[in-house]
Amino acid sequence: MRPSGPAPPKRAWVLPTAPGPTLRQRIERREREAGLRCDDVSCGLGPSDEDPLSEDVADTIKKVHQLTIRSKDMGENGLRTSLCEHKFHSSCLVSAARVALRDADAVVNDDGSVDVSCPVCRHEGCMMHGEWDDGVKALE
């Protein structure tokens, strides 16, 4: 028998908590920690599932050089400091900058730097023209 009286109020539906990062997210995080993948979400140089398993990871890491975006201003010691903690392959950074510039040519400053913004945190900084050229060559 049902109790007589008003029905208890319905509880509001709440989204269940997430089970944590997916397998793909865990793999990409470990590849970033090992230096195989950069912080760009569309990194084209990171390993893919179709790549054969390499025995010598150290040689692969040496071939895949990553750089940070530097501050536009010179520091007290005459060097530019890193703008953010994100690291990128030069080709990934050139590709992201070209998208931001709508495929226009990058402007080289008087000091030999090219203005870029971090694709992750959007901080405005620069990279050296030689690094830009390396990225352009890698994309060709």
Residue 136 lies in a domain: yes
Whole-number Å distance between alpha carbons of 130 and 113: 9
pLDDT, tens digit only, all 140 positions of the chain: 566 778 888 889 998 888 889 998 898 888 888 888 888 888 877 777 776 666 665 566 566 678 888 888 877 777 788 888 899 988 888 888 888 888 777 778 888 888 888 989 988 888 888 888 888 888 88
pLDDT at 5: 78
- Burial letters 34-65, b for 16+ CB under 10 A, else e: ebbbbbbeebebbbeeeeeeeeeeeeeeeeee
Which domain does 140 fall in, by range? 64-140
The structural domain count of the chain equals 1
Residue 1 lies in a domain: no
Residue 43 lies in a domain: no
Determine if the pTM surpasses 0.85. Answer: no
Residue 15 lies in a domain: no
Is residue 21 within 8 Å of residue 29, measured between CB atoms? Answer: yes
Q: Which of 87, 82, 79 is nearest to 70 (CA)?
A: 82
Residue 107 lies in a domain: yes
Residue 105 lies in a domain: yes
Residue 130 lies in a domain: yes
pLDDT at 2: 64
